């Protein structure tokens, strides 16, 4: 099972992304990371999420995308305990309509951290 820890629930994923995930995805909402939090705050938040993830059965990998300090700390903890972590990659297509740029992101693949 793939644990999706991001701000993009798997219900909004494209068919190619769901297929690449093996179709078995569980969502865990990415935390709201306080921008004024210090390093100790990030460390505690990452510890809390590590404990949540570690308690979940049948996790084969964690898809983690979000605030970089938290992501780095949590990925480091997960990898230290042999839990596979992946990021999603996308191709951005930008079009301009009536002077407004609109970007569409298309899933390409998962990449190991």
Q: pLDDT at position 65, please?
A: 97
Sign, CA dihedral 16-20-24-30, equals negative
Distance CA 7, CA 29 (A): 6
Q: Token pair for residue 79?
A: 């990898």
Encode pLDDT of 43-92 as tens digits: 999 999 999 999 999 999 999 999 999 999 999 999 999 999 999 999 99
Q: Token pair for residue 46?
A: 């990452």
Encode pLDDT of 12-56 as tens digits: 999 999 999 998 999 999 999 999 999 999 999 999 999 999 999
């Amino acid at each position: 099972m793939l644990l999706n820890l991001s701000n993009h629930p798997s219900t909004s994923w494209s068919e190619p992304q769901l297929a690449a995930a093996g179709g078995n995805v569980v969502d865990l909402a990415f935390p709201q990371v306080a921008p004024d939090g210090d390093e100790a705050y990030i460390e505690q938040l990452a510890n809390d999420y590590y404990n949540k993830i570690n308690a979940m059965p049948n996790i084969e990998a964690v898809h983690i995308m979000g605030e970089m300090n938290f992501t780095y700390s949590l990925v480091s903890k997960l990898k230290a305990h042999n839990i596979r972590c992946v990021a999603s990659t996308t191709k951005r297509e930008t079009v301009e309509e009536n002077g407004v740029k609109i970007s569409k992101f298309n899933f390409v693949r998962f990449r190991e951290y």
